[in-house]
Amino acid sequence: MVKKALRLLFTMTIVWPVIWLWLGLRIKHRHLIPERGPAIVVANHNSHMDVFALLSLFSFRTQQQVHPVAAADYFLRNRWLAWFTLNILNIIPVTRNGEDSDPLAGCEQALRQNKILILFPEGSRGEPGVLSPLKSGIWHLLQRVPETTIIPVWLAGTEKVMAKGNRIPLPLFIDVFVGEAITPHADKAIFMDALLQGLLHLKPHSQGSEAHDHHQPHA
């Protein structure tokens, strides 16, 4: 209960004020964000701000069911960061060096418990606006839990508000474009191409001036 309370307090006092009030998050098709699992929100990755932007899309009730998937070697590198990311950000750590015989076990367990994962298939932060090659771990995960809903999301602007060297987020807009669900497929090449196209289809909209769905945080 203490961890849950701390997580909600962090959301209310830091994540939502920074994302919604200071940065002015703008969302297109927020209604497509899942409210229950098993589901995976799949997004491009350019900044540490990406996780906070995505977490801010979920209601209080749903927040407790959301788990960002993150690299264990980076986010568990010291005890203070490990405590924060495990208990406040609610991450599922995944090993990248092959030491773990089953690095997807934690993700699979969460999906079987009807949780929602946040996953960046590029694996690490890439060049702003450029989608790096997607890793196929998500496909292997879906072979274990094929009933999982896959929602693609394109993030624009996160790399600017937390540019290299900045300790305080700059007050620039973050745009979030949510796409239609992508159907899992038994053929890895077909699914990975569908995922790639689903993400790239959202990207051009970030260059335009279409109307956005402005929603305030809700409980």
pLDDT for 30 beyond 50: yes
**CB under 8 A, 24+ apart: contacts of 204-213:** 205/28, 205/154, 205/177, 206/154, 206/156, 206/175, 206/177, 210/28, 212/26, 212/27, 212/28, 212/175, 213/27, 213/28, 213/29, 213/30, 213/31
| pLDDT of amino acid 206 | 42
Q: What is the mean pLDDT of residues 12-25?
A: 78
- Kindly report the length of the chain: 219
| pLDDT of amino acid 208 | 41
What number of CA atoms fall less than 13 Å from residue 200's CA on the CB side?
11
pLDDT for 55 beyond 60: yes
| pLDDT of amino acid 131 | 86
| pLDDT of amino acid 211 | 39
Q: How confident is the model at residue 134 (pLDDT cuts 50, 70, 90)?
A: very high
Of 189 and 101, the one with more pLDDT: 189
Distance, CA of 170 to CA of 176 (rounded, Å): 17
Q: How confident is the model at residue 100 (pLDDT cuts 50, 70, 90)?
A: low
Distance, CA of 62 to CA of 80 (rounded, Å): 26
Q: What is the mean pLDDT of residues 24-40?
A: 91
The structure tokens listed for 15 are: 């994540």
Looking at every residue in the chain, the average pLDDT score rounds to 84
Closest CA to 50 of 110, 126, 111, 108: 126
> What percent of the chain lies above the pLDDT cut of 90?
45
Identify the bridge partners of residue 153 per DSSP, sorted by sequence position.
43, 178
Q: How confident is the model at residue 18 (pLDDT cuts 50, 70, 90)?
A: confident
| pLDDT of amino acid 113 | 96
| pLDDT of amino acid 48 | 81
Closest CA to 153 of 131, 133, 184, 136: 131
| pLDDT of amino acid 178 | 96
Q: What is the mean pLDDT of residues 124-133?
A: 77
Q: How confident is the model at residue 210 (pLDDT cuts 50, 70, 90)?
A: very low
What does each C-alpha distance from 69 to 4, 51, 77, 121, 200 come to in angstroms?
Answer: 18, 10, 15, 10, 21
The structure tokens listed for 10 are: 């962090």
CA-based R_g, the chain, Å: 16
**The domain made up of 2-207 is a member of CATH 3.40.1130.10:** yes
Answer yes or no: pTM beyond 0.75. yes
pLDDT for 13 beyond 90: no
| pLDDT of amino acid 44 | 94
